[in-house]
Chain A
């Protein structure tokens, strides 16, 4: 287990505790969002979201574009006003406060640096507004530049920076006022892949160093998995699931999560019986033995989700393994990914499973070959069919 898995994760639905009148109580969550709704015209952007964020956590709001994650972030920042519901920061309700009265800062997707100001003046801007003495300003700007590892560019104009440098300046500017919570709106989207990977680790380091609560909006599941203590999945204006990266990956609450976080083979089927502690699901590819979990319907239509890396391929005649399931099929295509090999195996007329194999496991398996796609009952996750409540 990772270093963060031991933390208690606040539950998404926890309405009564969000009493907005409590003044900055020590135990109050960094952010308490209670049944927030927002529509733009006839379009419902947020259909009732409740969320508690613990202090000092790095939390990602993850979802496809249009899922409402940015709207939720803008409501926390004070740039949009919700139609209903309340937002409290450190136990203090902020619904009536403009952005400049909230102890929350934002790193914008476009960075929104002031192009007519130098790097120093950009970072010192919040301090100048707050009338911090000049000497302290210089000191704090220097500290921030050290924190984001970008010294020696103080006098440069904001327009003379590279994308990565702009990113670091925007971060320093948002953090110099020591906000309670830092909101980040897809700040890495404009960077190239290599820089993005570096910045992911940098953001995490800075967050751990300062202990500030970070709320990070992204549509990139890998980014969310890399950085977060906790991932909150959003879809269609609702919060779908919240949990540690391991939880949302290993125990997705529904088909959307299973498909959005990582890759999944999804098989339609019907839950129709039991064999010992295992349930049986009849699918087009045959009867599967699955370990029932909280999301497994007692009977009736269901979707079985299997991660590609949980499927092993065996050639017929090879000694049978421990796996409860073995679906015969034909290897249709082998895709070489460098460190991994991905095999597409047709196990029924309409069903192709993707298996992710190590180079050693894939050794000797060729396209056109008959194989057995094997996976354990515990490797499966049975989910309610699309449209059914999670």
Chain B
């Protein structure tokens, strides 16, 4: 019994359309030479991109997002690498439990973290600002870094570090010459995924930004006056940044390592 595969093709095609049509539309209309953010396509232009890189409201948002992404990713990578290194030195049983705790923020809804941070910062009198957003993004990206680098370390034969010490290397030398080159791909990919996560993070940023708005918050604000082509361009910029970062990260660590 052979059915023509045409039905299967149609089904897969429908699903792909469902998934990607919105994305394609946003990107497409960001190049549309028309003040309307929808069809018809009147011609292609880069003027909307020119606008988001010249209009102060948008450039501020882009600068804020970039700053938050770079600082939170750097903090998460340094702290997360140190934490992952500490975890592999503990007895296996304890590591398993602690690793579980470190992953919890990944499954806690961002809404909950946003509300908790908002009330916490208000209570202790910490001014809502970009710093507050950075703290929120570290909470979200740190578990990611620990998971990625921890997975890499699990797959390494750590007796290499003993061997390096045995062959004359001091502790820092063994780290710099043996361990660091081996976990460098995982570190870079963790940094890129942190940047992608931070650039895209909306809920926490909305709750605690205190007026220093990041790109997703500005887009949300802009929507109140209707979708404009500039919003499409801004969203497409974030899309390009996150997709690129994720693709590079994916090339650096095999996802099989992480899934383990």
Contacts and interface: CB of A to CB of B under 8 A. Distances in A.
A100 B182 contact: no
A79 B164 CA distance: 12
B160 A114 contact: yes
A110 B165 contact: no
A115 B165 contact: no
Interface string A112-147: 111110000000011001100000000000000000
Contacts of A104: 166
Contacts of A177: 167-168
A108 B182 contact: no
B166 A100 contact: yes
Contact of A129 (B162, B168, B181, B182): B168
Contacts of A173: 163, 167
A113 B163 CA distance: 8
A77 B166 contact: yes
B188 interface: no
B195 to A, nearest CB: 25
A382 B162 CA distance: 45
Contacts of B166: 77-79, 99-100, 104-106, 174
B169 interface: yes
Contacts of A300: none
A100 B167 CA distance: 6
Nearest to B170: A100
Q: Which of A105, A114, A116, A177 has its CB near the most chain B CB atoms (within 10 A)?
A: A114
Contact of B165 (A100, A113, A174): A100
A368 interface: no
Q: Which of B167, B168, B177 has its CB near the most chain A CB atoms (within 10 A)?
A: B167
Given A112-B157, A114-B178, A98 B165 contact: yes
B168 to A, nearest CB: 4
A112 B168 contact: no
Given A114-B178, A115-B182, A116-B181, A130 B168 contact: yes
Interface in B161-203: 162-171, 173, 177-178, 181-182
Nearest to B174: A100
A100 B172 CA distance: 12
Contacts of B157: 110, 112
A125 B164 CA distance: 8
B159 interface: yes
Given A100-B168, A110-B157, A116-B182, A129 B163 contact: no
Q: Which of B163, B166, B178 has its CB near the most chain A CB atoms (within 10 A)?
A: B166
A125 B167 contact: yes
A78 B165 CA distance: 9
A174 B167 contact: yes
A60 to B, nearest CB: 20
A98 B166 CA distance: 9
Given A110-B159, A112-B162, A105 B167 contact: yes
Contacts of B165: 78-79, 98-100
B173 A79 contact: no
B218 to A, nearest CB: 43
A270 B219 CA distance: 96
Contact of A108 (B159, B173, B177): B159
Interface string A60-101: 000000000000000001110000000000000000001110
B170 A112 contact: no
A104 B163 CA distance: 11
A375 to B, nearest CB: 48
Nearest to A108: B159
Q: Which of A78, A112, A130 has its CB near the most chain B CB atoms (within 10 A)?
A: A112
Nearest to A102: B166
Contacts of B168: 100, 126, 129-130, 177
B173 A129 contact: yes
A129 B167 contact: yes
Contacts of A174: 166-167
B169 A129 contact: yes
A254 B149 CA distance: 51
Contacts of B171: 98
Contacts of A99: 162, 165-166
Given A112-B157, A116-B181, A116-B182, A126 B162 contact: no
A378 to B, nearest CB: 47
Interface string A158-196: 000000000000000110010000000000000000000
A286 B132 CA distance: 90
A39 B169 CA distance: 28
Contacts of A115: 160, 182
Contacts of B181: 116
Contacts of B159: 108, 110, 112
A106 B163 contact: yes
B158 to A, nearest CB: 9
A328 B182 CA distance: 68
Contacts of A108: 159, 162-163
Nearest to B165: A99
Interface of A: 77-79, 98-100, 104-106, 108, 110, 112-116, 125-126, 129-130, 173-174, 177
Given A108-B163, A129-B167, A129-B169, 19 more contacts: A79-B165, A98-B165, A99-B162, A100-B167, A106-B162, A106-B163, A110-B157, A112-B157, A114-B178, A115-B182, A116-B181, A116-B182, A125-B167, A125-B177, A129-B173, A173-B163, A173-B167, A174-B167, A177-B167
21 contacts: A78-B166, A98-B171, A99-B162, A99-B165, A100-B167, A100-B169, A104-B166, A105-B167, A106-B163, A108-B159, A112-B159, A112-B160, A112-B163, A114-B178, A115-B182, A116-B182, A125-B169, A126-B167, A129-B167, A174-B166, A174-B167
9 A-B pairs with least C-beta separation:
A112-B163, A126-B167, A112-B159, A129-B168, A99-B165, A112-B160, A99-B166, A106-B166, A100-B168
Interface of B: 157, 159-160, 162-171, 173, 177-178, 181-182
